[in-house]
Amino acid sequence: MATVWSRFRYYSEVLSLDISISVLGSAALAQRVFEAQMSFAWWIVLPLSVWSIYTADHLLDARKSGGASNNARHEFHYRHFKVLAWLTILCAAAATGLAFVFLRDLIFSAGALVAALSLMHLVLAFWGKVRFGKELSVGLIYTCGVWFAPWLNSRAEAGSLEYVIVTLFLVAAWLNLFMNSVVEFRADKKDGLLFALNVLSRQKVRRLTILVSFLAGGLALLLPLYFGASKTLLCSISAFLLLAPGLVLFFERFFLKNNRYRLLAEWAFLSGLLLKFPL
């Protein structure tokens, strides 16, 4: 059983399956916040799109670092470059086709915007001259991909709470990416793949991530006092997403063992599925 679990963890992490599956929890959160009626196809298109974008990004990093990468994910992508490249093309084409056939024009437009942002990000990543903004651009693309379609398809007029939660989600996505950069600093430095930490010191980014994580997470927990007890679960899930990166870095030694940090940081986003069950 331990071997099965280890293999599941290994492949889910190197292939970004944990991120692609967990995005369904983020989607459930976005759907509930905007009270949107989303097509079944959207629940397929979203993880396919996320996997395609993340895998394309990892393939570019793998090509840059070569076969001697210190990052297991990049080394795996380098060894299986052709297969993963074709799978990425197929998944991207499937997502585009499903969106074109089954989703409304409005939602397809949202997907086109996210695709354009993703293409710009990948072009800059391939160019390699822009080093600082990768964490910021990936977080923005992820947030737009999750939230833009439910916002366009909302059945109710959005108020201040909705925009506060979207903002907190964006902050949580950025914190998660900065946390990963801090944890994977040594391997990325050897491969020449530093971004924010190429400009700021690892210790500064670590301290700032912990500080913002705990402050924003605490703020999210207090939101029901203003918006009402009925919003407690929404706010609690937002707080959990915000606190996870800070907890990983605060207890860094514990979470570095066996890559435990990915279990909390990536699968935390699946918590949004709690909103699918009556409580």
Residue linked to tokens 């737009």: 144
Distance CA 208, CA 171 (A): 12
* Distance, CA of 245 to chain centre: 12
Q: pLDDT tens digit string along 45-90? A: 999 999 998 898 889 888 877 767 778 888 899 999 999 999 999 9
Residue 276, classed as helix, strand or coil, is helix
pTM: 0.90
Residue pointed to by tokens 């707080």:
239
pLDDT tens by residue, 116-139: 766 676 666 555 555 556 788 888
pLDDT (tens digit per residue) in 237-257: 999 999 999 999 999 999 998
SS3 193: coil
128: left (phi over 0), alpha (psi -120 to 50) or beta: left
Give the H or E element holding residue 112: helix 105-127
* Cα(166)–Cα(168) distance, integer angstroms: 5
- The domains of the chain are located at 17-276
Query: What are the two backbone dihedrals, phi and then psi, of residue 152, each rounded to the nearest 5 degrees?
Result: -65, -30
Which pLDDT does position 83 carry in this prediction? 96
Taking alpha carbons only, the member of 27, 14, 10 closest to residue 150 is 27
**Contacts by 185-193 with C-beta closer than 8 Å and gap 24+?**
186/70, 187/69, 187/70, 187/71, 188/70, 188/71, 190/70, 191/61, 191/64, 191/65, 191/69, 191/70, 191/71, 191/74, 192/64, 192/65, 193/61, 193/64, 193/65, 193/71, 193/74
Between the alpha carbon of residue 63 and those of residues 67, 91, 156, the distances in Å are 8, 20, 46
Q: Which CATH architecture has domain 17-276?
A: Orthogonal Bundle (1.10)
